Amino acid sequence: MAEKIKVLISEEEVNERIEALGKKISEDYAGKQIHLICVLKGGVFFMCELAKRITIPVSMDFMSVSSYGDGTSSSGVVKIAKDLDESLEGKEVIVVEDIIDSGRTLSYLLEILKKRGPKSMGLCTLLDKPDRRVKDVKVDYVGFEIPDEFVVGYGLDYAQKYRNLPYIGVVEGVE
């Protein structure tokens, strides 16, 4: 059966929510400068759209991690495939993620980044699957809580496909 994508969250809904998150972050950090960290590749669409809607000064950096796992679940042991270019020392950091699933990757990553001396460390995710949580992570900003379904679009992939969809969808027809 061919894969089909069912829309879960429309482009309009995603855009509205990102607008609201940008406004909230701008208010919460008023008078400060934020350093956004994108976890590649999934977080890239969300971080760019979010950054465009933040009205206070922003700087950005990117990192890429791979988690040792069996393919379908992450082990929580994270290998840094591409590290940040800049130091976090004294910065108001917000890590931007596409989705928090088990929470293993993020909790490990946050431990590493906290040791680099940021002034503060926040976490913003477009999607959250709270039912799947194994490791407790404190999430400061959530776009949408979603049920335990495999989603694609807005940076999220299925076998590297569908990242470019401007909405969040569920893949149907996968064996």
Size of the site for ligand IMP (CB under 6 A): 16
CA distance 95 to 60: 10
Yes or no: say if 125 and 97 are a contact pair by the CB < 8 Å rule. Answer: yes
Partner touching 58 among ligand IMP, Mg ion, none, CB below 5 to 8 Å by kind: none
Residue 99 makes contact with ligand IMP by CB under 6 A: yes
Q: Which amino acid is at 19?
A: E
Q: How far apart are the first and last CA of the chain?
A: 8
* Catalytic residue flag (residue 61): no
Q: How many H-runs (helices) and E-runs (strands) does the chain carry?
A: 3, 9
Candidates 3-11, 28-36, 111-119, 145-153 — which segment interacts with ligand IMP by CB under 6 A?
A: 145-153
Residue 91 makes contact with ligand IMP by CB under 6 A: no
Nearer to ligand IMP, 13 or 28 (CB): 13
Residue 155 makes contact with Mg ion by CB under 5 A: no
For residue 118, give the 3-state DSSP assignment.
Answer: coil
Q: Please give the residue ranges that form the binding site for ligand IMP (CB under 6 A).
A: 42, 74, 97-106, 150-152, 156
Q: Which residues are catalytic?
A: 101
